[in-house]
Structure 1
Amino acid sequence: MQSHQTADMAIDDSDMENSKKTSLDHKKWLKWATLGLVSLINGYATILMYARSEYAFALLTLFITALGVYVFARKETYAHRYIFPGVAGMILFIIFPLLYTIGLAFTNYSGANQLTFDRAQSVLLQQSFQSGDSYKFTMYEQDGKYSIAVQDGEQWYVTSNIDLAQLPEDDVLLTRSEAPQGKKAPLKTVIGNRAALSEITLATTEGTELKMSGLRTFAEITPLYLLQDDGETLVNQRESITLKPNWDIGHYQQVDANGEFVGEPLSPGFIVNIGMDNFTRIFTDPGIQGPFLKIFVWTVVFSALTVVLTLAVGVVLAQIVSWEALKGRGVYRVLLILPYAVPAFISILIFKGLFNQSFGEINQVLEGLFGLSPAWFTDPFLAKTMIIIVNTWLGYPYMMILAMGLLKAIPEDLYEASAMDGAGPIDNFFNITMPLLVKPMIPLLIASFAFNFNNFVLIQLLTNGAPDMIGTSVPAGHTDLLVSYTYRIAFEGAGGQDFGLAGAIATIIFLLVGGLSLLNMKFTKLESE
């Protein structure tokens, strides 16, 4: 009996081992199948990006895919699968945009220079001009297909029947005909098939090629530019001029007999590396240097004043709501913290209405009491004052919450000893409360300064940088911060968005904010020690 039980147990153990092995084999097969499918899809996406000259995005996709396969395929790195999504997100949304922006800062990438050289050249080679006479044409329908009849004086030239849904690859031959056959197509049919008709090239027996030039005409069309044997030089066949790529500005430009560039550059332009030119422009171009320095100073002043005022208001209010003799302290705390709970953009838009120069409640009150009607949005000083007021309102609850927590950590013995020495509430505030509050808050104050240094939402919603500065090379406003100034250069430039210059300023902002972050880490380390 015992031997039979032992044999049964051995069989059961063997079955369990086989089952586990089968399960492991299935999981392994599923893992490799998933990795293979992901690699295949991302590989196809990489090839498409590369074919469209999106080399940076192709390289990013290839790198993240290879990193993921490496982590999930090897036993030694399989434990890192839990942090891979975070690492991939950091590469995708932080490191790559940062490196891409810094890379743009060294190029002429702008609204006029967005293409690679090959694509810009291809666009120019696709341009054409009418080099001969134009001829009226009519479409005739026969059995669901259409023939095109071109009239030259009293003579007709007609094509064979064409299926406009499946255009022929070669030129369509025109042959002399007495009179077109079939039902004449109305104008709406021509309009509906205009895209297909534009792709058709009609060839006469004399070798002349005709292209659609209007809703009722075909004309002799010749390519405007002819590419020479060197693969770079273009010849304008209409004006008989020679053009070469100017690698300094990223445009094709006419050259004279001496090979010197003359005339206006040709659009579209192409992207070229220009080294430190964008950084040099910031500090040498009077139309950029002046606004940049003014905006930089204002950004620093705005950030510093915001930190000081929000800290002052927050600490004072924290002291008040922490006063034990104050009845209803809980209600006051809730009311004072409410601005922090309301989404910032709602508060900003409400303040924008309150400060309205014609209908805002603030001006109505000031005019009724003092006869004043400040121009909050058109006077530079008043606009900056308004921004600081609004930002103080938005930021003081955060400081108040921090101060309320830190106040409870201050020993009561210090105040009792101070009272025995004859100190009053004001002395206690400046000699005990403030030093013990500010010291642990220094890292948070630095972080608040860095946040307000890039406070784009406030400026964009409240003033959009207005009032604008006069005589600048790029859009700039008196209330712009560096970050909103960069945005306007990139997307609101009247002469074409200058992404390269915006990238250079963004790089400077990154270095400044990065320096503040390092300073914050240093203070945090000193505080912990």
Structure 2
Amino acid sequence: MLDQRSQSAGSGTATGMIIKIAVLAVVTALAVWAALPLIRAEAWWALAVEAAVVAIVFHLYLQRRKIPPKYLLPGTLLLIAFQIIPVIMTIGTSFSNYGDGHRVGKDQAIEAIVAAGVQQTPGGTTYLLAAGESASGELTLLLTDTSDGSTWAGTEEGLTELPGAETDETGRITGAEDYSVWDLAELNERQDELTALAVPTGENTGIRVQGLSAFEGASTRSYDESCDCITDSATGTVWHADDEAGVFLTEDGQEALVGWRVNIGLDNYARVLTDPDIRGPFLGVFVWNLVFAAGSVLLTFAVGLGSAMALNRPGMRGTKAYRAVLILPYAMPAFAMILVWAQMFNRDFGLVNDLLGLDVNWFGDAWAARAMALLTNTWLGFPYMFLISLGALQALPADSLEAAKIDGAGGVTAFRKITLPLLLVALTPLLISSFAFNFNNFNAIELLTGGGPFRAGDDAGGTDLLITYAFRQAFGSASSDYGFASAISVFIFIIVATISAVMFRSTRKQEDVYS
């Protein structure tokens, strides 16, 4: 018996050691893989943090004791990586002017402005031009060197080689990993954007677009460090640096082509509160956001609870079939169902107008669009409320309801005085989480209405939530402003956290009353 136990313990120890070695080997491989780009980017602080994390992992998992930290460490690292760090980065971005025209550092901005003055020189390199966008949405020139056939990607940050790009019989790039390539029609339509893009290749050289080709030449512009200014010798224009705003300006206030990223303090937050062109739309979006979130919770809870009470009857026939039908919307992909509902509300051939004999422009009128959004979200959300309400109803103490009946309480009175308060004690945390989810329900609005309808000159639509408004500021408009969008995201976080804290506090008081 002792020998068997010793063999089992030894086998278990050997198995555990093999698993431990395998896990640490994977950690080491991932650390090396992550360290190489950090070294290339000279991100020494990030490299130091990575080394510290790896050291902590090895220290904990090479110990025989300290069992609890071994289980807590993976979750803690994932929490930091996917929750805390993104929040910190968002807050940091909200204090900057990061966005179109302010994506790079000052040195890169100088190179781009100088490159914008490039004039073709005899013998300069020429390229076949394609264009498109990177995975991050950055405008990119996709170039094929006519002399040797090499392929390159050019942005306002500079020129980088693009090995493995697909080309047609002429050598023009037709496909590249991590890039969406425009067709010739779109290339022609967006010539103005491409012509404005300057790709620096050296101190006074760069690449400019000319029709369906591009060339490398010398610039008529030069940077003078003593005056911190850029001078164009061909036109005599002089741009002086404004380090607070992150731009180069002429004497009459004209900005140069490219600025750089700087810390602007609370300016993005101040814009929301003080700029009348932003404050009005923002407050309108905020009010509708509250109505949408609260209305979605109330409507889905009312329909779900009503359905649960109707089916919570002992001996009722067909309850399984009814329940299966009621949870069907919950089982379908939400994004697909939203697109189906969008077609059902079509003014001309939609099912809703045809069945009800209406002629409502659901997508053209703000109030109609809001009603449509609430109705669609109710249909999508009530099965969840039905499931949790049915479970809570079946868990209610039967003696309380029986005592109410003995005291002569009718159905409505028993529901209002006993059933609903007891349900709310159990379900309020879930209702709060549902409110937080609907407050940031990006898919329901973006896929159904796109935030519209929009009035002329307005940046915010009639059904925009703060999250869709922030998304449009960052990615959906002609000029992206990540700093301002990040400030709106911080506002969203503060609002949801405050409302949730107040609701949870009231929930604790409610639990004290009914406990």
TM class by shorter chain equals: 0.7 to 0.9
Give the match for residue 510 of structure 1: 493
Pair 1:190–1:340, CA change in 2 (3 A): closer
TM-score of the superposed pair, with normalisation by structure 2: 0.73
Give the match for residue 252 of structure 1: 248
Using the TM superposition, give the Cα deviation of residue 347 of structure 1 relative to its aligned residue in structure 2, in angstroms. 1.7
Name the CA distance, whole Å, in 1 between partners of 2:467 and 2:209. Answer: 47
Provide, for residues 474-503 of structure 1, a one-character-per-residue CA deviation record: whole Å limited to 9, x for no partner.
x31010111111101111223x11111101
Pair 1:487–1:33, CA change in 2 (3 A): closer
Question: RMSD of aligned C-alpha atoms?
Answer: 4.1
Contact 1:278-1:500 at 8 Å conserved across structures? yes
Using the TM superposition, give the Cα deviation of residue 218 of structure 1 relative to its aligned residue in structure 2, in angstroms. 13
Provide, for residues 356-384 of structure 1, a one-character-per-residue CA deviation record: whole Å limited to 9, x for no partner.
111111101122xxxx2111111111110
Using the TM superposition, give the Cα deviation of residue 514 of structure 1 relative to its aligned residue in structure 2, in angstroms. 2.3
Are 1:486 and 2:501 counterparts? no
Name the CA distance, whole Å, in 2 between partners of 1:485 and 1:382. Answer: 19
Name the CA distance, whole Å, in 1 between partners of 2:270 and 2:503. Answer: 30
Contact 1:106-1:276 at 8 Å conserved across structures? yes
Give the match for residue 110 of structure 2: 121
Name the CA distance, whole Å, in 2 between partners of 1:484 and 1:304. Answer: 17
Pair 1:231–1:484, CA change in 2 (3 A): same
Using the TM superposition, give the Cα deviation of residue 270 of structure 1 relative to its aligned residue in structure 2, in angstroms. 0.6
Where does 1:237-248 land on structure 2 (aligned, <5 Å)? 237-248=233-244
Provide, for residues 430-469 of structure 1, a one-character-per-residue CA deviation record: whole Å limited to 9, x for no partner.
2222122122211111111111100001001100101014
Name the CA distance, whole Å, in 2 between partners of 1:219 and 1:398. Answer: 60
Name the CA distance, whole Å, in 2 between partners of 1:199 and 1:353. Answer: 48
Using the TM superposition, give the Cα deviation of residue 411 of structure 1 relative to its aligned residue in structure 2, in angstroms. 3.1
One-letter amino acid of the structure 2 residue matched with residue 481 of structure 1: L
Specify the SS of the correspondent of 1:307: helix
Specify the SS of the correspondent of 1:252: strand
Give the match for residue 82 of structure 2: 93
Are 1:428 and 2:420 counterparts? no
1:66 to 41, 52, 60: 52
Name the CA distance, whole Å, in 2 between partners of 1:392 and 1:438. Answer: 19
Give the match for residue 397 of structure 1: 383
Name the CA distance, whole Å, in 1 between partners of 2:15 and 2:409. Answer: 77
Give the match for residue 36 of structure 2: 44
Specify the SS of the correspondent of 1:427: helix
Name the CA distance, whole Å, in 2 between partners of 1:34 and 1:514. Answer: 37
Provide, for residues 10-29 of structure 1, a one-character-per-residue CA deviation record: whole Å limited to 9, x for no partner.
xxx9xxxxxx9999999999
Give the match for residue 231 of structure 2: 235
Pair 1:395–1:49, CA change in 2 (3 A): same
Contact 2:97-2:263 at 8 Å conserved across structures? yes
Are 1:376 and 2:362 counterparts? yes
2:460 to 440, 455, 476: 476
Name the CA distance, whole Å, in 1 between partners of 2:320 and 2:242. Answer: 70
One-letter amino acid of the structure 1 residue matched with residue 364 of structure 2: T
Provide, for residues 194-238 of structure 1, a one-character-per-residue CA deviation record: whole Å limited to 9, x for no partner.
xxxx9999xxxxxxx9x99989x9999642211224383222111
Name the CA distance, whole Å, in 1 between partners of 2:385 and 2:93. Answer: 38
Pair 1:457–1:214, CA change in 2 (3 A): closer
Provide, for residues 249-288 of structure 1, a one-character-per-residue CA deviation record: whole Å limited to 9, x for no partner.
321122xxxxxx4242011111111111111111111221
Name the CA distance, whole Å, in 2 between partners of 1:440 and 1:25. Answer: 45
Name the CA distance, whole Å, in 2 between partners of 1:94 and 1:486. Answer: 19
Identity score, percent: 34
One-letter amino acid of the structure 2 residue matched with residue 44 of structure 1: L
Name the CA distance, whole Å, in 1 between partners of 2:438 and 2:427. Answer: 16
Are 1:463 and 2:449 counterparts? yes
Specify the SS of the correspondent of 2:41: helix
Give the match for residue 322 of structure 2: 332
Contact 2:124-2:216 at 8 Å conserved across structures? no
Contact 1:303-1:452 at 8 Å conserved across structures? yes
One-letter amino acid of the structure 2 residue matched with residue 43 of structure 1: A
Where does 1:52-451 land on structure 2 (aligned, <5 Å)? 59-60=45-46, 62-73=48-59, 79=67, 80-130=69-119, 222-230=218-226, 232-254=228-250, 261-324=251-314, 326-367=316-357, 372-451=358-437
Pair 1:359–1:252, CA change in 2 (3 A): same
Name the CA distance, whole Å, in 2 between partners of 1:30 and 1:330. Answer: 48
Pair 1:520–1:60, CA change in 2 (3 A): farther
One-letter amino acid of the structure 2 residue matched with residue 394 of structure 1: L
Name the CA distance, whole Å, in 1 between partners of 2:244 and 2:346. Answer: 48
Pair 1:87–1:68, CA change in 2 (3 A): farther
Contact 1:348-1:461 at 8 Å conserved across structures? yes
Name the CA distance, whole Å, in 2 between partners of 1:410 and 1:28. Answer: 47
Give the match for residue 501 of structure 1: 484
Pair 1:219–1:414, CA change in 2 (3 A): closer
Pair 1:300–1:450, CA change in 2 (3 A): same
Structure 2 residues not aligned, in runs of 5+: 1-5, 7-11, 126-146, 151-168, 174-198
Name the CA distance, whole Å, in 2 between partners of 1:330 and 1:200. Answer: 70
One-letter amino acid of the structure 2 residue matched with residue 501 of structure 1: F
Specify the SS of the correspondent of 1:477: coil
Pair 1:447–1:129, CA change in 2 (3 A): closer
Provide, for residues 34-87 of structure 1, a one-character-per-residue CA deviation record: whole Å limited to 9, x for no partner.
77665544332212233xxxx5xx644542442122231365697534433322
Specify the SS of the correspondent of 1:262: coil
Specify the SS of the correspondent of 2:354: helix
Name the CA distance, whole Å, in 2 between partners of 1:218 and 1:320. Answer: 71
Aligned length: 433
Specify the SS of the correspondent of 1:115: coil
Specify the SS of the correspondent of 1:226: strand
Using the TM superposition, give the Cα deviation of residue 349 of structure 1 relative to its aligned residue in structure 2, in angstroms. 1.4
Name the CA distance, whole Å, in 2 between partners of 1:350 and 1:190. Answer: 43
Give the match for residue 158 of structure 1: none
Using the TM superposition, give the Cα deviation of residue 293 of structure 1 relative to its aligned residue in structure 2, in angstroms. 0.1
Q: Which has the larger radius of gyration?
A: 1
Contact 1:314-1:403 at 8 Å conserved across structures? yes
One-letter amino acid of the structure 2 residue matched with residue 467 of structure 1: P
One-letter amino acid of the structure 1 residue matched with residue 405 of structure 2: A
Using the TM superposition, give the Cα deviation of residue 341 of structure 1 relative to its aligned residue in structure 2, in angstroms. 1.4
